[in-house]
């Protein structure tokens, strides 16, 4: 394996989790959807370095948060 492009996580509270990933790791929200009562949030870790995390230019990671009552 050379690269990870996307990660999907099941979370108890999609809004709270999205807020954490935005503030702590500088992910940017792309979309929020609800499908049959289940919330999903799609976030993108951008292409430019930030003050929080000096990642290489060109690095990109997509994070999908799936709200679940099972967690």
Indicate the CATH number for domain 6-67: 3.10.180.10
State whether residue 70 is helix, strand or coil.
coil
pLDDT tens column, 2-31:
777 788 899 998 889 999 998 988 888 888
DSSP category for residue 58? T
Distances (CA, A) of 13 to 1, 17, 52: 31, 6, 24
pLDDT for res 16: 92
Helix intervals (H) in 1-71: 14-25
- The pLDDT-based confidence of 40 (bands split at 50, 70, 90) is confident
* Token code pair at residue 2: 């050379």
In this prediction the pTM is 0.67
Q: CA 42 from chain center: how many Å?
A: 6
CA distance 30 to 45: 10
Domain boundaries along the sequence of the chain: 6-67
Q: What percent of the chain has pLDDT over 90?
A: 11
């Amino acid at each position: 394996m050379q690269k990870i492009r996307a990660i999907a996580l099941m979370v108890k509270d999609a809004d709270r989790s999205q807020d954490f990933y935005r503030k702590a790791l500088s992910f940017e929200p792309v979309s929020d959807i609800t499908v049959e009562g289940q919330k999903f949030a799609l976030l993108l870790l951008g292409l430019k370095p930030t003050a929080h995390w000096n990642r290489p230019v060109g690095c990109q990671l997509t994070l999908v948060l799936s709200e679940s009552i099972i967690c």
